[in-house]
């Protein structure tokens, strides 16, 4: 579908993607709330992705307004540039990405400079990236990677999203966000713009 997503969706609405969507609650809720945005959820493991498909099918079978602006892809995000053309994506969501705590695995973190370089190849100018996690070490690493990356502007961040009046407005919870905030973990969020 590289370069042909507008054809697939049958319109020129902006495309927002979630990388590592897990069971897909977040992106499915967003798709239902925003019919004028097209959503692509990306997940590496079919065992998890199947839950998102089942949930969407169930939702659609019980609704007079089936969700048409959402599609899921099972793939490793390392290959994002094979699936999206330059300038094809307007926003990237990363939610509770795997922390890969060992230094030698840093390049596997979805906020590493290696991944930022991939995002640069698919994002539009002024496209945005939003990242949430409860893992403070991963968050600090991600802030550093973003500050050191050329061509990006860190536009906002917080170490306690649920108590941040501005950034929490309209927040859509993910499965992991609900789980970790319910045991008292503060949620960190960063937003950045691709210049």
User: For residues 46, 48, 52 and 57, what is the CA-based torsion angle, rounded to 10 degrees?
Assistant: 60
Scan residues 47-86 and list those touching ligand SAM (CB under 6 A).
48, 76-78
Based on the shown chain and the rule CB under 6 A, indicate whether residue 31 belongs to the binding site for ligand SAM. Answer: no
Q: Which of 7, 10, 45, 136 binds ligand SAM (CB under 6 A)?
A: 45
According to DSSP, the β-strands at 152-158 and 89-95 are: unpaired
96 or 157: CB nearest ligand SAM:
96
* Smallest distance from ligand SAM to CB 63, Å: 23
- Can 98 be counted among the known catalytic residues? yes
Based on the shown chain and the rule CB under 6 A, indicate whether residue 20 belongs to the binding site for ligand SAM. Answer: yes
Return the bridge partners of 85, or none: none
Which candidate in 98, 126, 134, 140 is catalytic? 98
SS3 20: coil
Say which DSSP state 23 is in. Answer: T
SS3 183: coil
C-alpha distances (whole Å) from 33 to each of 27, 28, 102 are 10, 9, 38
Q: Which of 174, 180, 189, 192 binds ligand SAM (CB under 6 A)?
A: 174
Return the bridge partners of 15, or none: 38
Q: Are 50 and 26 in contact (CB under 8 A)?
A: no
Angstrom distance (rounded) from CA 124 to CA 85: 10
Residue written as token pair 């199947």:
50
128 or 133: CB nearest ligand SAM:
133
45 or 144: CB nearest ligand SAM:
45
78 or 120: CB nearest ligand SAM:
78
Stretch that binds ligand SAM, among 41-49, 52-60, 81-89, 136-144 (CB under 6 A): 41-49
According to DSSP, the β-strands at 188-194 and 89-95 are: unpaired
Based on the shown chain and the rule CB under 6 A, indicate whether residue 114 belongs to the binding site for ligand SAM. Answer: no
135 or 153: CB nearest ligand SAM:
135
Active site residues: 98
**Binding residues for ligand SAM (CB under 6 A):** 19-22, 42-45, 48, 76-78, 95-98, 174-177
């Amino acid at each position: 579908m590289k370069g042909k997503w507008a054809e697939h969706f049958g319109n020129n609405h902006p495309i927002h993607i979630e990388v590592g969507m897990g069971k897909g609650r977040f992106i499915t809720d967003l798709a239902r709330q925003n019919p004028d945005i097209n959503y692509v959820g990306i997940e590496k493991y079919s065992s998890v992705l199947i839950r998102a498909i089942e949930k969407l099918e169930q939702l659609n079978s019980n609704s007079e307004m089936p969700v048409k602006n959402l599609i899921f892809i099972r793939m490793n995000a390392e290959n994002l540039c094979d699936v999206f053309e330059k300038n094809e994506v307007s926003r990237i969501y990363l939610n509770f990405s795997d922390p890969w705590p060992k230094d030698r695995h840093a390049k596997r973190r979805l906020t590493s400079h290696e991944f930022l370089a991939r995002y640069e190849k698919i994002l539009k100018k002024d496209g945005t990236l939003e990242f949430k996690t409860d893992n403070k070490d991963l968050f600090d690493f991600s802030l550093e990677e973003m500050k050191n990356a050329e061509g990006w502007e860190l536009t906002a961040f917080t170490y306690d999203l649920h108590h941040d009046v501005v950034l929490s407005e309209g927040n859509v919870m993910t499965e992991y966000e609900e789980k970790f905030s319910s045991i008292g973990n503060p949620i960190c969020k960063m937003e950045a713009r691709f210049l």
